[in-house]
Amino acid sequence: CIPCSLDRWYVPLGRQNKKTNNWSSQVYTMFSGLVRSAQRHYNRQDSDYMANQKREGHERNT
């Protein structure tokens, strides 16, 4: 997933810049919060979609 690769790329970058560490960590926490809320949103949509698919499948089978 994109957040995971971003994570891998971002962490070493943060270790290098000790001066801007405070700022980058603030930005990072903000960014990860955004990602987490987005994931929660998409997961809810996915589960709704799957539920609808199951319902349609049941209707088709009966």
Domains in the chain: how many in total? 1
Q: What is the pLDDT along the chain (62 residues), one digit of tens a residue?
A: 555 555 565 555 555 555 556 777 788 888 888 888 888 877 788 888 888 888 888 777 76
Q: How far apart are alpha carbons 11 and 28 in whole angstroms?
A: 9
Q: Which residues lie closer than 8 Å to 32 by C-beta, 6 or more apart?
A: 3
Residue 22 CA, chain-centre distance (Å), reads 23
- Domain encompassing residue 50: 2-61
